């Protein structure tokens, strides 16, 4: 009996060590390396996703979200026919606990990405995005023509119980294929900003996310 207990304890220790060797960010990175589009359905914890969701609701209620434009600061254009979301930029200076936790998670992800894939990322920017009923974002790439600092796009969804009929799918165009991704809560999507054309189809109920870019400055 004692021998069996010792074997059991050793097996438990071995499994724990193996588990610790598997970094939680590897799901997103490995799927990106396999398909050029990384997906992790549990990148955000349920508590963090729910907290960020509530942030978007409060920001919208307080009328702090603004119409998104096309281009960067030097050539920004508000074009409702092309892009219909409202945004609000995240900032550590807001001292919001959920924003702080999210940005800390991003920094941990960047550290792991740099150490495993040698990407040289040294900056980032993220904003909340709210698509109200009837809005969409036509096919585009995320990297600006006059600014190549954006290297990777990272989208985090905040929508509970999202259904196919709710619309708002992320369509990612790659070669002759189109990948359709539903914006489920806790899910992260990761791809090269200068490579992947993508769009958001028309939404039939409010759709929320945090969208951002990992940058080389």
pLDDT in tens, 85-125: 999 999 999 999 999 999 999 999 999 999 999 999 999 99
CA dihedral 98, 103, 108, 110 (to 10 degrees): 150
209 membership: H or E segment, kind and range: strand 207-215
> The whole model's pTM is what?
0.85
- Give domain status of residue 19, yes or no: no
Whether 45 maps to a domain, the answer reads yes
Residue 13 in domain: no
Q: In what order do the strands lie in the sheet with 177-181?
A: 137-140, 197-200, 170-174, 177-181
Handedness of CA 99, 132, 39, 126 (dihedral sign): negative
Cβ atoms of 90 and 127 within 8 Å: the answer is yes
Residue 72: CB atoms within 10 A of its CB come to 13
Distance between CA atoms of residues 154 and 128, nearest Å:
12
Total residue length of the chain: 217
**180: containing domain:** 28-215
CATH code where residue 66 lies: 2.60.120.620
Please state the rounded mean pLDDT for residues 180-196. 97
Residue 12 lies in a domain: no
Q: What is the mean pLDDT of residues 176-197?
A: 96
| Count of domains observed in the chain | 1
SS3 122: coil
Q: How confident is the model at residue 143 (pLDDT cuts 50, 70, 90)?
A: confident
């Amino acid at each position: 009996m004692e021998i069996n207990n010792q074997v059991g304890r050793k097996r438990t220790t071995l499994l724990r060590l193996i588990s610790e060797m598997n970094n939680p960010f590897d799901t997103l990175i490995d799927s990106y390396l396999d398909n050029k589009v990384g997906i992790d359905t549990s990148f955000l914890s349920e508590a963090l996703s729910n907290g960020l969701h509530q942030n978007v609701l409060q920001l919208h209620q307080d009328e702090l979200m603004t119409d998104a434009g096309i281009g960067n600061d030097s050539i920004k254009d508000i074009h409702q026919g092309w892009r219909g979301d409202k945004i609000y930029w995240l900032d550590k200076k807001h001292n919001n606990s959920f924003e702080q936790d999210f940005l800390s998670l991003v920094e941990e992800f960047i550290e792991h990405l740099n150490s495993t894939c040698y990407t040289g990322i040294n900056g980032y920017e993220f904003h909340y995005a709210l698509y109200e009923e009837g809005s969409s974002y036509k096919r585009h790439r995320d990297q600006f023509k006059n600014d190549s600092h954006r290297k990777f796009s990272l989208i985090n969804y905040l929508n509970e119980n999202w259904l196919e009929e709710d619309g708002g799918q992320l369509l990612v165009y790659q070669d002759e294929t189109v990948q359709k991704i539903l914006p489920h809560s806790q899910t992260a999507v990761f791809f090269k900003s200068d490579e992947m054309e993508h769009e958001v189809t028309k939404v039939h109920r409010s759709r929320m996310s945090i969208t951002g870019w990992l940058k080389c400055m």
